[in-house]
Structures are given as C-alpha cells and as structure tokens.
Homo-oligomer: A and B are copies of this chain.
Amino acid sequence: MMDGVPVEKLTPERRRQLTRRTLVEAAAQVFAQKGFYGASLEEIGEVAGFSRGAIYSNFGSKEELLFGVLDHYMDVQLDAVLNAMEATGRADLVADAVAATAAWESANRFTSNWPGLALELRLAALRNPEVRKRLADFERKSGDKVARVIEEEWDRRGVRPRVSARDFADLSRAALEGLTQLAAIDEEDSPRYRRLVGELFVLLASAVSGPEDT
C-alpha cells in the first residue's frame, strides 16, 4: 500500500543521525543533572531508550559524546541569541532590550536544566583544553555577530555610544548569564532575578548613550 503520509523515507543514514541526536539530547540532560563524571553511560543510554552499545557505536568514547553535546549546545545557544536579537529593531533602545529579554525568556533559558548544562560545559571547558578552545571560539564568534547587529542598530539611530558594541555585547552576555545562574540557584528569588534582566538592559541601554542623549 502506498503511504498516504509523506513518511520520511528513513534511510539508514537518516536513522543513524536520528539516534545520534536522541543520544546527544539524553546526554545533555543527564550531564546537566549529574555532571560529566557523575553521569553513567548506562543511564544516558537508558534515558535515550538505547543501551551503552548504541553510544559506543555512534561515539567512540564518553569524551566524544561530550563533544557531541557541546556542538548541540552551541547550536541551540546561537539560535536563541539570534532570535532574541531579531526581536529588536523597531522601537527605542529600552523597548528593544525588553523585547530581547522576553525572547530570551521564552527560549526557556531559565527553565529545565539549561543553566545546569551551561555550567557543566563551562566547567568542562576549564578542565579540557579542547573543549575550552571550541567554547572560546564559539563565544568569540557569536559575540562578534551580536556586536555587528548592535552596531547597525546604533548607526541607524545615530546613537553615539560610550563603549564599543563588542564590549556592550560581552557585558550584556556576562550579566545575563550571571543572572541566569543566580536565578537557578535561588529558586525562591528567581522571579526577582528575571526582573533584573530587564532592569539590566534598561540601565545599560540608557548608560551607553550617555548623559547627553536620552
């Protein structure tokens, strides 16, 4: 019988990629919860619905799996950042900041175990030179991208900034991540920290144009 639904042909290659993805997502989750050392391949396989065999078939070692998770993380993170940037561009600086914050929020950057994964990967970077290199490259590249967008916006509006767009971007990112972490730890005051994200952007945006500008 012919398939009434456009069933993805599910070629072997496709199937393999699919299990890879499943494994990576499971690994991301378990790494975030238990940490790289604390997580057992057994549990990761179980969460993914596979056995350890699948992991060793698709990745050579636990470390390679970590790299898979890192790549995945960087993809998702970059998407979130670009989406947040796209949310801006119509209103004034402050409103833009608020919109970007909302986009950031909706990208569930505060929920689930995203903060845990981010922390875990930073730690992994601190300990593993290869991870460190890749993560640093990524941060630089995405920082550049964000800075370019900011610059365009400033140009378009004739803003005379007191700091470079790159500095502004990095400062925002650092503060954003610090707040995210604090919110994750202090669950009770988490709403306050989320509010502070908006506050931060308003402060920064108003500061960047200086006392002489509105």
A interface with B by C-beta (< 8 Å): 33-38, 113, 115-116, 119-120, 122-123, 125-127, 132, 135-136, 139-140, 162-163, 167, 170-171, 173-179, 181-182, 184-189, 193, 196, 199-200, 203-204, 206-208, 210-211, 213-214
Contacts and interface: CB of A to CB of B under 8 A. Distances in A.
A185 B116 contact: no
A199 B37 contact: no
A123 B35 contact: yes
Q: Which 6 A-B pairs have the closest CB atoms?
A: A174-B178, A207-B207, A178-B178, A175-B175, A37-B37, A37-B38
A81 to B, nearest CB: 15
Chain A contact surface mostly? helix
Given A178-B175, A185-B135, A203 B196 contact: no
What number of copies of this chain does the assembly contain?
Answer: 2
B199 A171 contact: yes
A126 B140 CA distance: 27
A167 to B, nearest CB: 6
A33 B127 contact: yes
A162 B119 CA distance: 32
B188 A171 contact: no
